[in-house]
Chains A and B, each alone.
Chain A
Amino acid sequence: MIATGQPVSRSHRLRRRLRHGDVPFRLLAATFAFVVVALLVAIVGVAWDGSAAAREAFGLRFLTRTAWNPVAGEFGALPAIYGTIVSSAIALLLAAPPGIMIGIFLSDLSPARLRGPLSLMVELLAAIPSVVYGMWGIFVFIPFFRGAIAEPVSRALGDTVPFLAGPVTVGRGLLVAGIILAIMILPTIAAVSRDVLSVVPTHQREALLALGATRWEVIRHALLPYARAGIVGGMMLGLGRALGETMAATMVIGNTPRIDPSLFQPATTAASLIASQLPTTNTELHSSALVYLALVLFLITLLANSIARLLVWRVAGAAGGRR
Chain B
Amino acid sequence: MQQAGVTTVVPERRIHLAVAGARDDAPAIPAASEVKLDIRKLTIIYGQRVAVRDIDLRIPAQAVTAIIGPSGSGKSTLLRALNRMHDDVPGVRVTGEVLLDGQPVYGPEVDPVEVRRRIGMVFQRPNPFAKSIFDNVAFGLTVFGARRLSRREVAERVERALRQAALWDEVKDRLDQPATSLSGGQQQRLCVARALAVEPDVVLLDEPTSALDPIATGRIEQLMRELVEQHGYTVVVVTHNMQQAARVSDVTAFMTVDASRAGTLVEVGPTARIFTNPQDQRTEDYITGRVG
Contacts and interface: CB of A to CB of B under 8 A. Distances in A.
A7 interface: no
B91 A210 contact: no
A217 B144 contact: yes
A201 B130 CA distance: 13
A201 B83 CA distance: 20
Q: Which of A211, A214, A217 has the most CB of B within 10 A?
A: A211
B261 to A, nearest CB: 23
Contact of B123 (A203, A214, A215): A203
B130 A322 contact: yes
Given A204-B127, A217-B143, A217-B144, A212 B114 contact: yes
A214 B117 CA distance: 11
B140 A221 contact: no
Contacts of A217: 143-144
B9 interface: no
Interface in B111-140: 113-114, 116-117, 120-121, 123, 125, 127-131, 139-140
A215 B113 CA distance: 9
B130 A211 contact: no
A209 interface: yes
B129 A210 contact: no
Contacts of B123: 203, 206-207, 210
Given A112-B90, A322-B178, A214 B113 contact: yes
A215 B88 contact: yes
B195 interface: yes
Contacts of B158: none
B159 to A, nearest CB: 18
Contact of A212 (B88, B113, B180): B113
B113 A210 contact: no
Interface in B82-130: 83, 85, 88, 90-91, 113-114, 116-117, 120-121, 123, 125, 127-130
Interface in A193-232: 201, 203-204, 206-207, 209-215, 217, 221-222, 225
Interface residues of B, number: 28
A212 B85 CA distance: 10
A203 B130 contact: no
A205 to B, nearest CB: 8
A319 interface: yes
Interface string A109-141: 001100000000000000000000000000000
A323 interface: yes
Nearest to A222: B129
B184 to A, nearest CB: 14
Given A203-B127, A319-B130, A211 B195 contact: yes
A53 to B, nearest CB: 55
A154 B200 CA distance: 59
A210 B120 CA distance: 6
Contacts of A222: 129
A210 B143 contact: no
Contact of B129 (A111, A207, A215): A207
A203 B127 CA distance: 6
A211 B127 contact: no
Nearest to B84: A209
B58 interface: no
Given A225-B130, A323-B130, A210 B144 contact: no
A213 to B, nearest CB: 6
Interface in B198-218: 198
A221 B136 CA distance: 12
Interface string A238-279: 000000000000000000000000000000000000000000
30 contacts: A201-B127, A203-B125, A203-B127, A204-B129, A206-B121, A206-B123, A206-B127, A207-B191, A207-B194, A209-B85, A209-B88, A210-B83, A210-B85, A210-B116, A210-B195, A211-B117, A211-B120, A211-B139, A211-B195, A212-B140, A212-B198, A213-B116, A213-B140, A213-B144, A214-B144, A215-B88, A217-B144, A221-B139, A221-B143, A322-B180
Interface of A: 111-112, 201, 203-204, 206-207, 209-215, 217, 221-222, 225, 319, 322-323
10 smallest A-B Cβ distances: which pairs? A212-B117, A210-B121, A112-B90, A203-B127, A322-B130, A211-B140, A212-B116, A207-B127, A217-B144, A212-B113
Given A203-B125, A213-B140, 16 more contacts: A207-B123, A207-B127, A207-B191, A207-B194, A209-B85, A210-B121, A211-B117, A211-B144, A212-B114, A212-B117, A212-B144, A212-B198, A221-B143, A225-B130, A322-B180, A323-B130
